[in-house]
Protein backbone atom coordinates (compact mmCIF):
# COMPACT_ATOMS: atom_id res chain seq x y z
CA UNK A 1 0.00 0.00 0.00
CA UNK A 2 1.56 3.31 -1.12
CA UNK A 3 -0.25 6.19 0.61
CA UNK A 4 0.06 8.58 -2.37
CA UNK A 5 -0.95 6.03 -5.04
CA UNK A 6 -4.38 7.36 -5.93
CA UNK A 7 -4.95 4.97 -8.84
CA UNK A 8 -5.65 7.73 -11.37
CA UNK A 9 -3.98 10.92 -12.59
CA UNK A 10 -3.93 13.95 -10.31
CA UNK A 11 -7.25 15.75 -11.00
CA UNK A 12 -5.49 19.13 -11.02
CA UNK A 13 -3.28 17.89 -13.85
CA UNK A 14 -6.28 16.48 -15.70
CA UNK A 15 -8.03 19.85 -15.27
CA UNK A 16 -4.94 21.67 -16.59
CA UNK A 17 -4.99 19.52 -19.74
CA UNK A 18 -8.71 20.14 -20.20
CA UNK A 19 -8.29 23.90 -19.84
CA UNK A 20 -5.06 24.27 -21.84
CA UNK A 21 -5.73 21.64 -24.49
CA UNK A 22 -2.06 21.31 -25.48
CA UNK A 23 -1.32 19.16 -28.50
CA UNK A 24 1.47 16.81 -27.51
CA UNK A 25 2.00 15.30 -30.97
CA UNK A 26 5.65 15.63 -31.95
CA UNK A 27 6.52 16.99 -28.50
CA UNK A 28 8.43 15.60 -25.54
CA UNK A 29 7.46 15.48 -21.88
CA UNK A 30 9.03 14.40 -18.62
CA UNK A 31 7.24 13.48 -15.40
CA UNK A 32 9.42 13.93 -12.30
CA UNK A 33 9.17 11.55 -9.34
CA UNK A 34 6.57 9.69 -11.35
CA UNK A 35 5.67 7.19 -8.62
CA UNK A 36 3.20 4.63 -9.88
CA UNK A 37 2.75 6.27 -13.27
CA UNK A 38 -0.79 7.59 -13.46
CA UNK A 39 0.21 11.17 -14.32
CA UNK A 40 2.72 9.97 -16.92
CA UNK A 41 0.03 7.85 -18.59
CA UNK A 42 -2.22 10.90 -18.87
CA UNK A 43 0.60 12.92 -20.44
CA UNK A 44 1.40 10.16 -22.94
CA UNK A 45 -2.30 9.79 -23.79
CA UNK A 46 -2.22 13.45 -24.85
CA UNK A 47 0.35 12.59 -27.50
CA UNK A 48 3.63 13.52 -25.82
CA UNK A 49 6.63 11.26 -26.18
CA UNK A 50 7.00 10.80 -22.43
CA UNK A 51 9.81 9.92 -20.06
CA UNK A 52 8.80 9.34 -16.44
CA UNK A 53 11.49 8.92 -13.82
CA UNK A 54 11.76 8.13 -10.17
CA UNK A 55 14.68 7.59 -7.83
CA UNK A 56 12.97 4.48 -6.48
CA UNK A 57 13.42 1.30 -8.55
CA UNK A 58 10.36 -0.10 -6.77
CA UNK A 59 8.24 2.82 -7.98
CA UNK A 60 9.48 2.34 -11.54
CA UNK A 61 8.75 -1.41 -11.40
CA UNK A 62 5.28 -0.70 -9.99
CA UNK A 63 4.58 1.83 -12.75
CA UNK A 64 5.64 -0.64 -15.41
CA UNK A 65 3.50 -3.36 -13.81
CA UNK A 66 0.50 -1.00 -13.51
CA UNK A 67 0.76 0.00 -17.17
CA UNK A 68 2.04 -2.99 -19.15
CA UNK A 69 1.02 -1.58 -22.56
CA UNK A 70 2.37 1.89 -21.84
CA UNK A 71 4.01 4.19 -24.34
CA UNK A 72 5.82 5.88 -21.44
CA UNK A 73 9.52 5.24 -20.95
CA UNK A 74 9.87 4.62 -17.21
CA UNK A 75 13.41 5.03 -15.88
CA UNK A 76 15.22 5.14 -12.57
CA UNK A 77 16.91 8.54 -12.24
CA UNK A 78 17.70 11.14 -9.61
CA UNK A 79 16.32 14.64 -10.09
CA UNK A 80 19.44 15.98 -8.40
CA UNK A 81 21.79 14.11 -10.76
CA UNK A 82 19.91 13.92 -14.04
CA UNK A 83 21.35 12.86 -17.42
CA UNK A 84 23.08 15.69 -19.29
CA UNK A 85 20.97 15.07 -22.41
CA UNK A 86 17.83 16.07 -20.51
CA UNK A 87 19.06 19.67 -20.17
CA UNK A 88 16.42 22.04 -21.73
CA UNK A 89 15.04 18.98 -23.59
CA UNK A 90 11.32 18.77 -22.73
CA UNK A 91 8.33 20.68 -24.12
CA UNK A 92 6.33 19.78 -21.01
CA UNK A 93 7.71 19.15 -17.52
CA UNK A 94 5.36 17.87 -14.79
CA UNK A 95 6.38 18.11 -11.15
CA UNK A 96 3.88 16.84 -8.58
CA UNK A 97 4.82 16.47 -4.90
CA UNK A 98 8.49 15.49 -5.52
CA UNK A 99 10.23 18.65 -4.31
CA UNK A 100 8.13 18.67 -1.13
CA UNK A 101 9.23 15.06 -0.51
CA UNK A 102 12.80 16.37 -0.18
CA UNK A 103 14.18 18.04 2.98
CA UNK A 104 14.02 21.84 2.86
CA UNK A 105 17.83 22.15 2.53
CA UNK A 106 17.66 20.27 -0.83
CA UNK A 107 14.62 22.04 -2.25
CA UNK A 108 16.39 25.04 -3.86
CA UNK A 109 18.75 22.73 -5.78
CA UNK A 110 15.86 20.45 -6.73
CA UNK A 111 13.83 23.41 -8.01
CA UNK A 112 16.74 24.60 -10.13
CA UNK A 113 17.07 21.07 -11.58
CA UNK A 114 13.36 21.01 -12.42
CA UNK A 115 13.74 24.26 -14.35
CA UNK A 116 16.74 22.95 -16.28
CA UNK A 117 14.55 20.27 -17.88
CA UNK A 118 12.30 22.80 -19.65
CA UNK A 119 13.03 23.35 -23.37
CA UNK A 120 12.84 26.80 -25.01
CA UNK A 121 9.13 27.47 -25.55
CA UNK A 122 8.29 24.66 -23.12
CA UNK A 123 5.90 24.58 -20.15
CA UNK A 124 6.34 23.48 -16.55
CA UNK A 125 3.37 22.47 -14.41
CA UNK A 126 3.95 22.26 -10.65
CA UNK A 127 1.40 20.88 -8.17
CA UNK A 128 2.29 21.23 -4.50
CA UNK A 129 0.96 21.30 -0.97
CA UNK A 130 0.91 24.81 0.53
CA UNK A 131 2.67 25.38 3.80
CA UNK A 132 0.62 26.97 6.59
CA UNK A 133 1.17 30.74 6.34
CA UNK A 134 4.11 31.86 8.46
CA UNK A 135 5.14 28.38 9.63
CA UNK A 136 8.94 28.32 10.12
CA UNK A 137 11.13 25.60 8.56
CA UNK A 138 12.10 24.15 11.96
CA UNK A 139 8.47 23.40 12.84
CA UNK A 140 7.89 21.16 9.84
CA UNK A 141 8.33 17.51 10.58
CA UNK A 142 8.43 16.04 7.10
CA UNK A 143 8.07 14.29 4.88
CA UNK A 144 6.42 16.07 3.29
CA UNK A 145 7.92 19.54 3.71
CA UNK A 146 5.15 21.67 2.11
CA UNK A 147 6.20 24.68 0.04
CA UNK A 148 5.80 28.37 0.74
CA UNK A 149 4.37 30.60 -1.97
CA UNK A 150 7.86 32.11 -2.41
CA UNK A 151 9.29 28.63 -2.91
CA UNK A 152 6.74 27.86 -5.61
CA UNK A 153 7.50 31.18 -7.30
CA UNK A 154 11.21 30.27 -7.23
CA UNK A 155 10.58 27.59 -9.87
CA UNK A 156 11.05 30.60 -12.17
CA UNK A 157 14.71 29.92 -11.48
CA UNK A 158 16.09 31.59 -14.59
CA UNK A 159 15.22 34.92 -16.25
CA UNK A 160 13.71 33.13 -19.27
CA UNK A 161 11.40 30.90 -17.14
CA UNK A 162 8.28 32.87 -16.19
CA UNK A 163 5.35 32.16 -13.88
CA UNK A 164 2.20 32.58 -15.99
CA UNK A 165 -0.54 31.07 -13.80
CA UNK A 166 -1.08 30.27 -10.13
CA UNK A 167 -4.19 28.62 -8.70
CA UNK A 168 -5.22 27.49 -5.26
CA UNK A 169 -7.94 24.88 -4.95
CA UNK A 170 -9.24 22.26 -2.55
CA UNK A 171 -7.44 18.93 -2.74
CA UNK A 172 -9.76 16.87 -4.95
CA UNK A 173 -9.76 13.86 -2.62
CA UNK A 174 -9.82 15.87 0.64
CA UNK A 175 -11.65 19.20 0.17
CA UNK A 176 -10.58 20.63 3.56
CA UNK A 177 -6.93 20.59 2.40
CA UNK A 178 -5.55 22.97 -0.24
CA UNK A 179 -3.34 22.41 -3.26
CA UNK A 180 -1.42 24.85 -5.46
CA UNK A 181 -0.94 24.54 -9.19
CA UNK A 182 1.53 26.81 -10.94
CA UNK A 183 2.40 27.02 -14.61
CA UNK A 184 5.66 28.39 -16.01
CA UNK A 185 6.81 29.04 -19.57
CA UNK A 186 10.34 29.22 -20.94
CA UNK A 187 10.84 31.99 -23.54
C1 LIG B 1 5.07 11.85 -2.67
S2 LIG B 1 5.63 10.87 -4.01
C3 LIG B 1 4.71 11.58 -5.38
C4 LIG B 1 4.61 10.67 -6.54
C5 LIG B 1 3.86 11.24 -7.75
N6 LIG B 1 4.52 12.41 -8.29
C7 LIG B 1 2.44 11.56 -7.37
O8 LIG B 1 2.07 12.72 -7.29
O9 LIG B 1 1.68 10.60 -7.17
C10 LIG B 1 7.28 11.48 -4.30
C11 LIG B 1 8.02 10.67 -5.35
O12 LIG B 1 9.27 11.30 -5.62
C13 LIG B 1 10.26 10.31 -5.73
N14 LIG B 1 11.56 10.97 -5.47
C15 LIG B 1 12.04 11.42 -4.28
N16 LIG B 1 13.24 11.97 -4.45
C17 LIG B 1 13.53 11.89 -5.78
C18 LIG B 1 14.65 12.28 -6.58
N19 LIG B 1 15.72 12.88 -6.03
N20 LIG B 1 14.62 12.04 -7.90
C21 LIG B 1 13.55 11.41 -8.46
N22 LIG B 1 12.47 11.01 -7.75
C23 LIG B 1 12.46 11.25 -6.43
C24 LIG B 1 9.86 9.28 -4.69
O25 LIG B 1 10.48 8.02 -4.91
C26 LIG B 1 8.35 9.25 -4.90
O27 LIG B 1 7.97 8.33 -5.90
Sign of the CA dihedral with 170 first, then 173, 179, and 184 last? negative
Mutational pocket test of ligand 1: of 6, 98, 143, 145, the residue with most ligand atoms within 8 Å of the beta carbon: 98
Mutational pocket test of ligand 1: of 78, 101, 107, the residue with most ligand atoms within 8 Å of the beta carbon: 101
* pLDDT (0 to 100) of residue 7: 85
Q: Give the residues across from 74 on adjacent strands.
A: 52
Q: What is the rounded distance in angstroms from the CA atom of residue 1 to the CA atom of residue 24?
A: 32
DSSP 8-state assignment for residue 78: -
Domains and CATH numbers, the chain: 11-186 (3.40.50.150)
List pLDDT tens digits, range 111-127.
999 999 999 999 999 99
* pLDDT (0 to 100) of residue 2: 61
Read off the pLDDT band of 1 (50, 70, 90).
low
Read off the pLDDT band of 71 (50, 70, 90).
very high
85-112 average pLDDT score: 98
83-104 average pLDDT score: 98
- Residues ≥6 apart with Cβ < 8 Å to 10: 38, 39, 96, 127, 172
16, 1, 4, 23: which is closest to 144 by C-alpha?
4
DSSP 8-state assignment for residue 146: P
Per-residue pLDDT at 79 exceeds 70: yes
Whether the ω angle into residue 144 lies within 30 degrees of 0, i.e. cis, is yes
* pLDDT (0 to 100) of residue 3: 60
Supply the mean pLDDT for the chain: 95
Per-residue pLDDT at 132 exceeds 90: no
**For the chain, how many residues are written?**
187
**Atom in ligand 1 nearest the alpha carbon of residue 10:** 8
Q: What is the rounded distance in angstroms from the CA atom of residue 186 to the CA atom of residue 162?
A: 6
Amino acid sequence: MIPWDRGFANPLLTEWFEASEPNGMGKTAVVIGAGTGWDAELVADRGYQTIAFDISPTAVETAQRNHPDSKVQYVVADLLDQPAEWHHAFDLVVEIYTVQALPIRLQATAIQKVGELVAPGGALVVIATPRTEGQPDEEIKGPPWPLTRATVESFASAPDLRLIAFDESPKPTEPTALRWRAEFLRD
